Structures are given as structure tokens and as C-alpha cells.
Amino acid sequence: METRAGDPGAFAQFDLNRVDSPAFVVDAAKLRANLQVLADIRDAADIKVLAALKAFSMWSVAPIIGEYLDGVCTSGLWEARLASEFYDGEIATYSAAYKPDELEEVCRLSDHVIFNSPAQMERAALILAHARSQGGSFDVGLRINPQSPQGEVPRYDPSSPGSRLGFPLDQLTPEIMEGVEGIHFHNLCEQDFEPLRETWDKVFDAIEPWFGQLKWINMGGGHHITRADYQRDELIEFLRDAKEDTGAEIYLEPGEAVALDAGILVGTILDNGWNGLPVAITDISATCHMPDVIEAPYRPAMLHEEQGAGEAVRLGGPSCLAGDVIGDYRLPVPCEPGQRVAFLDQAHYSMVKTNTFNGVQLPSIWLWDSASDALEQVKTFGYQDFRDRLS
């Protein structure tokens, strides 16, 4: 998978030795710039935009997000709790499956409760009725599967054959749609506008009979709206038309676009050697700190990589997993212990997916404002964080 992000921006001037290692560094100024783009599109199209916590849930910057967007979308009870505690605005919650004993609290915390299947929605009827009797004012939505594959990698494509995400579009019936107040679909992954248009062409025809019934239509995330070459004017026109055609409130819930190119992951070379090519071990682990490198797979961009100069070095992490390999890079520094390197566009997904396999240290979290050069360590992790998640 080829990532289309990786613009160093102000990080091109950042001194990597200002932070400990490993460390995530998030640029508040770039975050604001991304949010301003999203807010401008929201205002121009007269829609609502929610930030997807599944991609970026650094809640210390929740006040910044609240200045620009209409709220957040969450993936279950714990994210809904986080949203209610720290974030402003609406909360839309979708889960592939809710536990019955958690659903009532989800209803209490959320403005929109979105189900993955009509069967689960039916089983939850008594819980929903009770939650509303207690003053709950949430809408009930259904996630649909557009059955329109658009992704490069099947595991990241909700419309891939046999997908468990969303109710198949071709199975919708009037009986199923009874009581459904909103429709949700999420079909993109790091993509431009055209895949959204193609998805909507299929969805439009299938849900048109219920346009008078639906309060809202949530078109999900995966839109790389804040990337410089995204077709924003076309998106705005499209969203205006969708709102007019459907009579429903239109939502987008970008995740990556909120934090695109707003963070780096700083690491240190610990050891080097030779095994048919130069090899180096860093304190950054693909499997612990950037699992999408292995899952996708993809090659993250390196800050100041020397394009076409010198011999590539294979960088890997300190874990025992043989496949804990980040990639082959032409380093901007000597391949020697103690040298710092950084990978670009690591604020989204990498931060929320970190783990302590092998007891590998979690990266600390820093907030930098490239506009003022203010730098603050927001969070650091120690042995107790590793110990206390075990028993």
C-alpha cells in the first residue's frame, strides 16, 4: 500500500533531539490548519463534520478540535465515555456489535446510536425504549454496506466480499427500514473524491424510497480532504446536492484527515550490522508502534530521507518478531548507534494502536506548536503501564 501523505511541513526544521525516544510529536499548528480546511468545507456545504476518535483520540487536543468541528464519532462504550468527558458537540456511536449490558450507557452518552444489523437493532428494542423513557434523546441509525469495493487492500475495504461491516445494500426492505432515522456508510480508506461519488451512486438508488424518513445520512470517513490535492470544490458541490436531494442532514466523519501530516514518530538507532545489506535496530517497533506497516503493509515516509543517495539500510524494531521490519531507507544521518530518525504522518492510527508486546516501551507524547515553537511533554509511559495491564 502506497501512502499518499508524508509532507514534512514544519517538521523539516524540528530538532529531533528536543524530545526523548521513542516519542510521538504532534504539531498543534498543523492540526489547526487541517481542522480549518474541514470547517471551511462544512460551512460551504452546510453539513456537519465529526472527528473519528478511532483514528486520533489524543484528548489533550480536544479543546482545539472543539473550536472547529461539530463533535466526534466513537466506536463503542469506552470511546463514547472519552468523548463525553473531554470533547464538545455531538457524539455518534457505531459498533459492529454492542454488548447488551453496555448499550444503555451508550444511548445515554450518544446523540446517534448506529447499529451494524437490523437483527441487533431488533434485539435491542427494549433497551432503546427504556433508555428513551429515562430521557434519552438519541437517533437510531443503521450502517449499510454499499457493496462497492473501492479499496486497494481488502482488509481495509468495508465492501470487500464477505465483509462483516454494515448491512448489505441489496437486502434492505421497508420492514427493515421501519424506525431507522439515519443511514451510515463508510467505504473509503485514504482516498480522493471519486470513490465517494461512485459509492454514493449505488447508495442513492437503494435508499431513495426513504428520503422523506431519514433525518441524517453519515458518509463516514476515509476521505483525505486535508491533503493538498484533494478535489475540495467538487466535494462541496456534491455535498450540497446530496443534502438537497435527500432532505437529510449530511455528516462526514474524517479521522486521518484531522491529523494528516500533523505528527511524527521519533526514534533512535540502537545497533547496526550487516547481513547481505546494512541492518539497524531502532527503539521504534513496527509491530508495537506502527502495526499498519505490517498489516497493510506500507512503507512510512522518513523525515529527510536521502533519495537515491547511498545504500539503503533495513530498519527494524527491538522485538523478537522476525518480521518487525519498518523498511529499507537511505538515512539522512550516519547509521550509527545514538543517531535520531523520524517517520512522517504518524499522529493518526499509529498512536491509538500502540502496544507493549515484548515489554517494548511505549512512545511518549509531545505537543509542539510550530507557530510559536512551544513544546510540551503531554504523556510519558513507564514500566508500571506495562505491568498494570497484566496480572
Q: Which residues have C-beta within 8 Å of that of residue 148, sequence separation ≥ 6?
A: 159, 187, 198, 199, 202
Residue with cell 539497524: 280
Question: 298 — phi, psi (to 5°)?
Answer: -150, 165
Task: Give the span between the Cα atoms of 217 and 220, in whole angstroms.
Answer: 9
Choose among 243, 316, 326, 301: nearest CA to 47: 243
Is 292 marked within a binding site?
A: yes
Asked whether 128 and 107 are in contact (CB, 8 A), the reply is yes
Is 256 marked within a binding site?
A: yes
Q: Residue 92 is placed in which grid cell?
A: 455518534
* H or E segment to which residue 369 belongs: strand 364-369
C-alpha dihedral sign at 327, 333, 339, 344: negative
| Residue 63 burial class via C-beta count within 10 angstroms: exposed 0-12, middle 13-18, buried 19 and up | exposed
**Amino acid letter at 177?**
M
SS3 state at 37: helix
Binding site, annotated residues: 256, 292
Binding site, annotated residues for substrate: 256, 292
